[in-house]
Chain A
Amino acid sequence: MIDAATRKGIFEGWLRRFGHGMLALGLVALLFAFAPAKLHADTDCLACHSDKTLQDANGHSVGVDGQVFGSSIHGVLQCKDCHTDIKDYPHPDHLQPVQCKNCHADQATQLGGSVHKDGKDHPCTSCHGDAHAIFPKSDARSAVYPLNIPRTCGQCHSNGGMGQKHKLDSVYPKYIDSIHGYALSKEGLLVAANCQSCHGSHNILSHTNPLSPTNKANIPATCGQCHAKIAADYFNGVHGKALLAGNKNVPVCSDCHTAHAILQPTADAFRTQSTPICGSCHKDKFSTYRDTFHSQLGSLGGYVQTARCWDCHDAHEVRPTSDPLSPVNPANLVTTCGKCHAGANKSFVQYQPHANAHVRKLNPALYYIRLFMNLLLVGTLTFFVIHTILWLIRARYEQFRNKTADKTAEGDKHV
């Protein structure tokens, strides 16, 4: 018979042994986990530089996290591979800046020809972050991971950053509130356009440079990398054809949608703001459009839709009225107007969405009706304004005369 105390002792012995076993297992696991760091990062250097508070003579931190470095894309390298002026220990107090181009020659060349070539800070770490914690761009820890790029670029290209110093547009807030920014920051869509999707990465050129993807002539192709169908439509339309023919005075994507503050095109704000954009070139059409109910209501915002330019003319595949494929070709009007006006018929589509009531030759009936209405308005008001003003003067005079002439008698107050 084993008494209770003995039983307890046996149990505790097992428990202790089990604990030791787990500890040993944990240590082995730790050993494996640390193995890459220990293998690849220089343990000699880390003897000093693993101290995160370590500073050089200028007060710059020279501490390195060996574990993070070991797991970074450069973890396989030795310290002296980059810090080439360190030959032995102790090393000089002042070291030369690391030359990334020794390995990354292509990127360095591209950067040298880009708008960022004059950067005073280290050109690579400005974007790629901590030199000892650089990860591949597919790694969520990377500063150039798609979801992190806007924030990385935004360090300079936003309010108060380098943007202000160099008088650059503050694009980060615009982007982050745009439909691309929303898709990226709220939905985490890796395919959502980020800065480098349009601007490139190392070879960023000014939009004035014909080789830049953001040069006016290249914008439809740049946006078309993702928006292929719309780009195809655009190049079938008059604007795209003219652009291909070398005409720079035609709208490209960014002229209507803006470059950074791109809104959902069905959003009320976009529909309200973009009609004048078409109107900035098509001035006569815009002015006559503004005379119509479509425009009058449309300018007021709200949740009911009225016809905007592209609702009738199409947004991207804009074709001349004479083209049978154009939605505003007379043959297609019943269908086009019928999108909103159920029951639109042949007579209904005789309505002129751009009628000019000021030109007699174009619209005689409308011209005379407008003339008559204006004369009626001006005539009636002119007559009665004179009539009423004279009356007011006379009535006041009469009251005054009655009051002074005879204070006891009841004067005629109702004049």
Chain B
Amino acid sequence: MSDLEQQNVPASGEQTAPPKRYFKRFTAAQRYMHAVLFTTFLGLAATGLPMRFSESLWARRFAAGVGGFGSILFFHKLCAIVLTLAFLNHVKNIFTNAFIHRQKGVFWGYSSMVANFKDAKDLLGHLRWFVGLGQRPQFDRYSYWEKFDYWAVFWGMLVIGFSGYAMWFAPFFAHFLPGWALNAVLVIHSDEGLLAILFIFSIHFVNTHLRPGSFPMDMVIFTGVESEEEFSHKRPLEYQRLVKEGKLESRLGEAPGSYQLNFSRVVGFTAIFIGLTLLVLTLSAYFI
């Protein structure tokens, strides 16, 4: 973030550095998708956790505060519908991009979210670098942990979504599901939901926002752009490829305005604060 702040400050020292350049990473649609995703996810987590830990005092207090489980369930279902629509829209976009617009690199290549052999190598290489056994791997447009985040959410949506709707419309699903499946859907929904919550509020928060390289927040998902320095260091392969192909200029974006950064910070830190609060409450249900 510090490098983003420096943009309006005249470069210090004797030399006058050229103005900082910013490159586009996420489209507006992708950023809105993330916004819908984390808003509904926070809503689902905040209303789902009290149900899962309904014996805890905080769960009962929270439920009472919003009007009991009737309203908790209402908000849970409301967020679920919005998230489902966003998910379906995303799947629709993938297929229209790939098959209607004939866009390349949706299912394969460096700009695809599909995992490849390099991701496995990067994971091992990264682990080796952690313990000082090798060089830091050079990442491309999407690193292996970013792809994992994506597929974790994708898989989670299918599993949690399906099991959730099976509970919501149990008599309907009972037409083609065996009786024990109605028991299983709660176990699946509850455990997978808990996994998603714990993963997002601990691993995703730290890997993407709180680790030293991005601390305290990676603004790229909010502003859509990142500085040249950040781009070249975080995703050297993609940067070098663009330089080699002479396409770097085509990715140039505008420097984010201060209102945009401030708004993003408020929203982002609120989300992180709610998430960490829920994480502490969840862990307290196990350890206190």
Contact = CB atoms under 8 A, between A and B. Distances in A.
Instruction: Answer yes or no: do A and B interact.
Output: yes
B72 A369 contact: no
Chain B at the A interface: SS class: helix
B70 interface: yes
B177 A347 contact: yes
B70 A373 contact: no
Contact of A385 (B177, B202, B230): B202
B131 interface: yes
Contact of B206 (A301, A303, A392): A392
Given A301-B60, A399-B212, A414-B233, A373 B178 contact: no
Nearest to A396: B212
Given A342-B171, A384-B203, A394-B130, A352 B180 contact: yes
B42 interface: no
A399 to B, nearest CB: 5
Given A348-B179, A366-B183, A413-B213, A300 B195 contact: no
B187 A300 contact: no
Contacts of B188: 369, 373
B63 A390 contact: no
Interface residues of B, number: 61
Interface in B168-212: 170-172, 174-175, 177-184, 186-188, 191-192, 194-195, 198-199, 202-203, 206-207, 211-212
B202 to A, nearest CB: 7
A352 B181 CA distance: 10
B60 A388 contact: no
Nearest to B235: A414
B24 interface: no
A290 B190 CA distance: 13
A3 to B, nearest CB: 85
Contacts of B182: 348, 350-351
Which of B68, B179, B212 counts the most A-chain CB atoms under 10 A from its CB?
A: B212
Nearest to B71: A302
B59 interface: yes
A409 to B, nearest CB: 13
Interface stretch (B46-54, B94-102, B247-255, B264-272): B46-54
Contact of B54 (A297, A365, A385): A297
Contacts of B152: 380
Interface in B202-232: 202-203, 206-207, 211-214, 229-230
Chain A at the B interface: SS class: helix
A372 to B, nearest CB: 9
Contacts of A300: 50-51, 54, 59-60, 63-64, 68-69, 72
Contacts of A295: 54
Contacts of A413: 3, 212-213, 229, 233
A347 B179 contact: yes
B131 A373 contact: no
B73 interface: yes
B195 A302 contact: no
Contacts of A299: 54-55, 59-60
B21 interface: no
Nearest to A411: B233
Interface of A: 268, 290-293, 295-304, 306, 341-345, 347-352, 355, 357, 363, 365-366, 369-370, 373-374, 376-377, 380-381, 384-385, 387-388, 390-396, 399, 410, 412-415
21 contacts: A268-B68, A297-B54, A297-B69, A301-B63, A304-B73, A343-B172, A348-B182, A350-B182, A351-B182, A366-B180, A373-B188, A377-B198, A380-B195, A381-B199, A388-B207, A388-B211, A391-B130, A394-B129, A396-B212, A399-B212, A410-B229
Given A299-B55, A300-B60, A302-B67, 14 more contacts: A290-B55, A298-B54, A300-B68, A301-B68, A342-B171, A347-B179, A366-B180, A369-B184, A369-B188, A370-B187, A388-B206, A394-B131, A394-B132, A415-B212
